[in-house]
Structure 1
Amino acid sequence: MVWQDIVIAIVIVFLAYALIPQIYKGFKEKRGLISLQTSIITGVGMYILSYIYFTLNLFFSATMVFISGLFWTILFFQKKFYK
């Protein structure tokens, strides 16, 4: 594991952690609070970055970015199904 893998993963953990209150609020209020365009573009970008990190053998970063992509996917579905 290289130091870049650790730093990228730590940054992504903090960015993903920042989404947790947003996801919780969406479930609590039964509303999608993020626009579809934002959640789609960011989610797809996270999955692409996850693949790139995986091909660079940055496995920890790839995992954390994939989890962040899942959070953005949850936000997408909240917007899509909660009116």
Structure 2
Amino acid sequence: MVWQDFVISIVNVVFMVALVPQIYSGFKLKKGTVLIATSLPTCIGLYVMAVTYYTLQLYYSSFVTVSGGILWMIFVIQRVMYKTG
């Protein structure tokens, strides 16, 4: 593991932890408060970044970035599921 892989992974984990309260709130209030115009491009962009990290052999960063993409996909699902927007 190179130091860049470690740093990118840690930063992505911090970003993911910051998303958890918003995801929890969405399910608790039954509202999709994050716009699809925000959540879908972010989700797709994170998946593209994950593939890029993988090709650079930054495997931990790739895994963590896919996990972040999954969290952003939850925002898309909440928006569709609760039909807000």
TM over 0.5: yes
2-structure distance, mates of 1:31, 1:82: 6
1:49 positional shift: 0.3
2-structure distance, mates of 1:6, 1:15: 14
Residues 47-58 of structure 1: matches in 2 within 5 Å? Answer: 47-58=47-58
Residue of structure 2 in register with 1:30 after alignment: 30
User: TM-score, structure 2 length as denominator?
Assistant: 0.96
The share of aligned pairs that are identical, in percent, is: 45
Name structure 2 gaps, 5 residues minimum. none
**Runs of 4 or more above 3 Å deviation:** none
Name structure 1 gaps, 5 residues minimum. none
How many pairs align? 83
Deviations 1:31-64 (A, max 9, x none): 0010011000100000000000001000000000
Residues 62-81 of structure 1: matches in 2 within 5 Å? Answer: 62-81=62-81
1-structure distance, mates of 2:60, 2:72: 19
